[in-house]
Structure 1
Amino acid sequence: MQYQLATFRLDGRLFGIDVALVQEALRLDQHTIVPHAPQTVAGLVNLRGQVVLLVDLRARLGRTPFGPEDSPMMMVVNVDGEPISLLVDQVGDVMDVDTDRLGPVPPTLEAELRDLVAGVYALDDDLLLPLDVSLATRV
Structure 2
Amino acid sequence: MSRLVTFALDDARYGVDVQRVREVLRTATGPRVPLAPDDVVGLLNLRGRVVPVVDPRVPLGLPSRAVPPEATLVVVHVHDEDVALVVDSLGDVVDADEETFAPAPETLDASVRALVRGAHVLPEGLLHVLDLDATVPAA
1:39-78 counterparts in 2 under 5 A? 39-69=38-68, 71-78=70-77
Provide the TM-score with structure 1 as the length reference.
Answer: 0.90
Who is 2:101 aligned against?
A: 102
Change (3 A) 1:68 1:114: closer
| Residue 87, structure 1, aligned to residue 86, structure 2 | yes
- TM-score, normalised to structure 2, is 0.90
* C-alpha displacement of 1:58: 1.1
CA-to-aligned-CA distance 1:35-64 (integer Å, 9 cap, x gap): 121211101110111100111111221122
Alpha carbons 1:21, 1:78 under 8 Å: kept:
yes
Preserved CA contact (<8 Å) 1:45 1:54: yes
2:134 matched residue in structure 1? 135
Secondary structure at the counterpart of residue 111 of structure 2: helix
Within-5 A mapping of 1:3-42: 3-42=2-41
Unaligned runs of 5+ in 1: none
Question: CA shift at 1:28, angstroms?
Answer: 3.2
In 2, Cα distance between the equivalents of 1:38 and 1:55?
9
Give the whole-Å Cα distance in 1 for the aligned partners of 2:47 and 2:69.
Answer: 23
State the one-letter code of the partner of 1:87.
V
Shift of 1:71: 4.8
The percentage of counterpart residues that share the same residue type is 41
Note the residue ranges of structure 2 that are not aligned, 5 or more in a row: none
- Report SS of the residue matched to 1:15: strand
Paired AA for residue 6 in structure 2: T
Q: Is the 8 A contact 1:4 1:18 kept in 2?
A: yes
The one-letter amino acid of 1:85's match is A
Deviations 1:57-89 (A, max 9, x none): 112211222315575311000113310111111
Residue pair 1:66, 1:72 contacting (<8 A) in 2 also: no
Give the strand-richer structure, 1 or 2: 2
Q: Would the alpha carbon gap of residues 68 and 107 (structure 1) be closer, same or farther in structure 2, given more than 3 Å must change? A: closer
What residue identity is the alignment partner of 1:21? Answer: R
